[in-house]
Amino acid sequence: MDLQSAQAIAHGLQFIGAGLATLGMIGAGIGLGILFGNYYVGAMRNPSAAKEQQTNLFIGMALTEALGIFSFVVALLVLFGH
């Protein structure tokens, strides 16, 4: 195998690695669905306590989104970092 074909393979594997790194965004989407779904069910069962739990909902949302953005940044670093 010559140097040019080895570099082409490494470049292709770099794209595969970046794609795999974005799988964390799928987890963030699933986490948000579970988070808001459970909040909705809890708010329907006990509407008086929904306002008290709204702060926890937004904190959980922010942390989940931060993990999704972190996985996107890692994918960009894999793709464009040298």
DSSP string, 39-77: HHHHHHH-GGGHHHHHHHHHHHHHHHHHHHHHHHHHHHH
**pLDDT of res. 24:** 87
Chain segment 15-67, per-residue pLDDT in tens: 999 999 999 899 899 999 999 999 999 999 999 988 999 999 999 999 999 99
Q: Which domains does the chain have, with CATH numbers?
A: 3-80 (1.20.20.10)
What confidence tier does 1 reach under pLDDT thresholds 50, 70, 90? confident
The mean pLDDT value for 2-17 works out to: 91
* Cα three-residue angle 31-36-40, rounded to 5 degrees: 150
Model pTM score: 0.77
Indicate if the pLDDT at residue 4 is higher than 80: yes
